[in-house]
Amino acid sequence: MSLADATAAELLAAFAARTASPVDAVQACLDRIAEVDTHLNAVLVLLAEPALAAARQSEKRWTDGTARPLEGVPFGLKDIVATAGITTTGGSALFKDAVPGTDAALTGRLTGAGGILLAKLHTFEFACGGAENRTFGRCHNPWDVDRTTGGSSSGSGAAVAAGEVPLAIGTDTGGSIRLPAAYCGITGLKATYGRVPRHGVMGLSWTLDHAGPMTRSVADAARMLGVIAGRDDRDPTSSRRAVPDYVAALAQPVAGMTVGRARGWFEAVLQPEVLTSYEAALADLAGAGVRVVDVELPDVDLWDVAAWTVMYAEALSYHQHHVYDVENRDAMGAGLLAGGPYVQTVDYLRGLRYRRIAQGQLEAAMAGVDALVTPGAVSTAPALDDIATTGDSASWLISATRTSIPFNYTGNPGLCVPTGLAADGMPASLQFVGRPHDESTILALGQAYQTVTDHHLARPAVPAGA
């Protein structure tokens, strides 16, 4: 196996055993990027020389016994995450040449833990999702380059799936970590609102935005979350709670746990192949000793409309100075921003106030279960052209985020894991939803699932269809 296909845990084990070095790992990723990225367009900025220099420093740390938790592991950042001295475009022509003076909090935490920043990764303008990016071009799904990666963490999904980097950061306002994870067959974790500080991350909707890991395994997501989680005073909404040992939590036994299957809203419009994959995944979980019971969440349609009401209002408020030139913005961003002026103040406030009602409903539904399960997405990755030719692309986004945005709204953590290829040859996914600040339980469930299945080990024959 190429080092480019290894997980972070495998790389760290190889570094410790001196069977591979950080320079080997960085070089393997660079070779893979050179091989496939012309077909994917996941990488916006490649940092080859600084990464190789950092890898040489990491080798010294492995030699002198001062290796840190991610020592020598390459990673990528969605290009809305600030990097000092390195362009951070927000996926937009408006910021094509913008160079921040300081790192985002999570950039500093990853490099401070020994991670090696290898690439800034594709995203849609202002992290709005869609199919097109007029400034940087389309990003393509490694499983079928004619299909979307999902978004807006498009480059993160493609790069991790294709072996360009083992770890990436995504952000998630309505599903932008979990959708590309589902569409690209990788693991994606949106932690509890406030668990990961957002200082230095371009916003879209301040009460819905999250940042988190996109990886090839649950174990890597746990390791990465342990590095980036925790209070940062520059983000007043970041949690002061202590950061648990998420890697240790992976060993928590799941036999005897109960997960609640929320049907209704979450399964009403599933692509049949996705439902088949989902049912099989639940059977695998049951085989691991996890009891699956039905739970009722009858008002999720209200959570959904409340979430979108909040997002339209907050996105327009935040990007107010960009909307005057909206016809020069990309389609999805333009659609989202142009949908904002009609949200009435009283509805925005109701959307905020109803959030606590939704949280109470979820709390009641989760009484007696350890976590919820839903499909990771309602379909496999659609064709890029199908999204691009949909005149009302924002409506497509509303449909695509059906299983994800409810938990941006409530703030609960959601973990997507791949459940194998559907009949159309594209990845399908399962989402675990935990109680707030109980990432440990959903990580343990995900780890158990990846212990009894091997779907997370599947790699695309990049670039399929090119």
Partner 1 sequence: MSDPDNFRWMAAEQGLTFTLERYAAALTLHAGMRDALLRLRQVPLSFLDPTEPDSALVWLENGGRS
| Catalytic annotation present for 440 | no
CB closer to partner 1 out of 43 and 306: 306
Smallest separation, CB 93 to partner 1 (Å): 19
Structure tokens at 210: 């999250």
**Can you say how many angstroms the Cα of residue 299 is from the centroid of all Cα atoms in its chain?**
26
Q: Is 90 in the site for partner 1 (CB under 8 A)?
A: no
Smallest separation, CB 401 to partner 1 (Å): 13
| Catalytic annotation present for 58 | no
CB closer to partner 1 out of 78 and 437: 437
- x/- letters, 424..463, toward partner 1 (CB under 8 A): -----------xxxx-------------------------
One-letter identity of residue 52? L
Three-class SS of residue 8?
helix
Q: Per-residue DSSP letters for 439-459?
A: HHHHHHHHHHHHHH--GGG--
Smallest separation, CB 157 to partner 1 (Å): 25
Choose the catalytic residue: 153, 176, 205, 277.
176
**Can you say how many angstroms the Cα of residue 30 is from the centroid of all Cα atoms in its chain?**
22
Q: Is 388 in the site for partner 1 (CB under 8 A)?
A: no
* Residue 251 burial (C-beta neighbours within 10 Å; 0-12, 13-18, 19+): exposed
Q: Is 361 in the site for partner 1 (CB under 8 A)?
A: no
For 129, 148, 228, 295, 342, the CA distances from 390, given in Å and listed in that order, are 14, 14, 37, 35, 22
Q: Which of 66, 328, 395, 451 is close enough to bind partner 1 by CB under 8 A?
A: 395
Q: Is the dihedral of CA 301, 303, 307, 313 positive or negative?
A: positive
Structure tokens at 178: 């979990």
Q: Is 239 in the site for partner 1 (CB under 8 A)?
A: yes
Choose the catalytic residue: 21, 58, 78, 404.
78
Choose the catalytic residue: 21, 92, 152, 239.
152
* C-alpha angle 280-429-204 in degrees, rounded to nearest 5: 155
Binding site for partner 1 (CB under 8 A): 192-194, 207, 237, 239-241, 301-302, 304-306, 308-309, 323-324, 326-327, 334-335, 338-339, 341-342, 347, 349-357, 359-360, 362-363, 366, 391-392, 394-395, 398, 411-412, 435-438
Catalytic residue numbers read: 78, 152, 176
